Amino acid sequence: MKILVTGGAGYIGSHAVVELHQAGYQPVIIDDFSNSEESALAGIEAILGVAVPLYRIDCADEAALRSVFAAEPDIAGVIHFAAFKAVGESVQKPLAYFQNNVGSLLTLLAVMKEFGVENLVFSSSCTVYGIPDALPVTEATPTKPASSPYGRTKQMCEDLIRDVSAAPDNTLHTILLRYFNPIGAHASAKIGELPLGVPNNLVPFITQTAAGMREKLTIYGNDYDTPDGTNVRDYIHVVDLAKAHVVAVQRLLDRKASEPVETFNVGTGHGNTVLEVVQAFEQASGQKLNYSIGPRRPGDVPAIYADATKAEQVLGFKTETSLVDSLASAWKWQQTL
Ligand code: UD1
Distance from residue 227's CA to the centre of ligand 1 (Å): 18
Residue 242 lies in a domain: yes
Please determine, for residue 308, whether its predicted confidence score (pLDDT) is greater than 90: yes
How many angstroms separate the Cα of 298 from the Cα of each of 87, 91, 284, 304?
A: 11, 11, 30, 16
Residue 191 lies in a domain: no
Mean pLDDT of 136-158: 96
Looking at the CA of residue 304, tell me the nearest atom of ligand 1. Answer: 8
Per-residue confidence at 164, pLDDT binned at 50, 70, 90?
very high
Where does ligand 1 bind, in terms of residues with CB under 6 Å?
Answer: 85-87, 125-127, 181, 200-202, 205, 217-220, 231, 233, 274, 297, 300-301, 304
Looking at the CA of residue 231, tell me the nearest atom of ligand 1. Answer: 30
Distance from residue 266's CA to the centre of ligand 1 (Å): 16
Looking at the CA of residue 203, tell me the nearest atom of ligand 1. Answer: 34
Structural domains in the chain (count): 1
How many angstroms separate the Cα of 231 from the Cα of each of 106, 224, 228, 276, 303?
A: 34, 7, 9, 10, 5
Residue 193 lies in a domain: no
pLDDT digits (tens, 9 = 90+) for 268-278: 999 999 999 99
Residue 335 lies in a domain: no
Please determine, for residue 12, whether its predicted confidence score (pLDDT) is greater than 90: yes
Q: How confident is the model at residue 139, as a pLDDT?
A: 98
| Best residue for ligand 1 mutational test, from 233, 293, 326 (most atoms within 8 Å of Cβ) | 233
Q: How confident is the model at residue 313, as a pLDDT?
A: 98
Please determine, for residue 329, whether its predicted confidence score (pLDDT) is greater than 90: yes
Distance from residue 202's CA to the centre of ligand 1 (Å): 6
| Best residue for ligand 1 mutational test, from 181, 200, 208 (most atoms within 8 Å of Cβ) | 181
Mean pLDDT of 2-12: 98
Q: How confident is the model at residue 191, as a pLDDT?
A: 98
Per-residue confidence at 302, pLDDT binned at 50, 70, 90?
very high
For residue 332, which phi and psi values (nearest 5 degrees)?
-60, -45
Report the distance separating Cα 248 and Cα 262, nearest Å: 10
Per-residue confidence at 248, pLDDT binned at 50, 70, 90?
very high
Please determine, for residue 243, whether its predicted confidence score (pLDDT) is greater than 90: yes
| Best residue for ligand 1 mutational test, from 154, 193, 297 (most atoms within 8 Å of Cβ) | 297
- The residue whose CA has the least distance to atom 20 of ligand 1 is 202
Residue 203 lies in a domain: no
pLDDT digits (tens, 9 = 90+) for 63-118: 999 999 999 999 999 999 999 999 989 999 999 999 999 999 999 999 999 999 99
Please determine, for residue 147, whether its predicted confidence score (pLDDT) is greater than 90: no
Residue 229 lies in a domain: no
Please determine, for residue 175, whether its predicted confidence score (pLDDT) is greater than 90: yes
Q: How confident is the model at residue 82, as a pLDDT?
A: 98
Mean pLDDT of 188-211: 96
| Structural domain for 169, as ranges | 2-183+235-266
Catalytic residue of the set 55, 97, 150, 305: 150
- Say what percent of the chain tops pLDDT 90: 98
Mean pLDDT of 142-169: 96
Task: Decide: pTM greater than 0.75.
Answer: yes
Residue 279 lies in a domain: no
Per-residue confidence at 196, pLDDT binned at 50, 70, 90?
confident
Helix ranges, the chain (H): 11-22, 39-48, 62-71, 87-92, 94-97, 103-114, 149-165, 202-210, 238-253, 274-285, 309-310, 323-334
Which CATH number does the domain housing residue 109 bear? 3.40.50.720
Distance from residue 248's CA to the centre of ligand 1 (Å): 25
Residue 15 lies in a domain: yes
Please determine, for residue 299, whether its predicted confidence score (pLDDT) is greater than 90: no
